Structure 1
């Protein structure tokens, strides 16, 4: 029996959020620095994780809540670049106003999906006391999506 790939919320969230930026800066994990300097130091980075929500009982509509964590670092300073991380969070917040209604091509042979809407369900908040001097903001977004037909 062949394995059937199914879209996942983390793939949908990362793919949609990557459409908001000039280059791919969204994934499920923060890339580890190879030589001590994160490759994302110039752009910042966003990680996503499912934290709640649900799926339709009678229709294939998914409505998960996703934690969106925005990261920034200044390799030349121990002072976290709060403004850069906050700007990423505010970009995500601004994208949550109005319907999205776009087809997203997921990577790796996963089926395409239609992202219908996204709503911010929390204010972005500063996460302090990071030992690595990363600036970190977090907000929660509820997505509504279906597999495309």
Structure 2
């Protein structure tokens, strides 16, 4: 049985279509836990600000790699969801993350771009920067399964 739509897809597609900026992305727990904020969007690209909580820092004061990878994964998924038709969703099937420098607790900016959406698989890339976008923290690529939403 087909569910009508993925609520996250509907939310981000509407936000992008209407040109919304500085929009809190509290539509699901993963985004809310990182205080995600849609900064801007363009053709095939989203810019999202994430906030790493103190609980995500390691003993050396930097944010753990898993949290940084989650930010990149969420940004790429949101970029793909923004372009899917109603009734479709995506799920990460491959994620490659390359850490470039340490990221201290606080804000991060993710710029995610959709490279291609095929019938069953989408491809995306993202870069994660410090709050001022002056330092690259990590970059990633992913492939995402595209499928109909199921109840």
How would you bin the TM-score normalised by the shorter chain? 0.3 to 0.5
Higher strand fraction (1 or 2): 2
Relative to the length of structure 2, the TM-score reads 0.35
Relative to the length of structure 1, the TM-score reads 0.36
Larger radius of gyration: 1
Higher helix fraction (1 or 2): 2
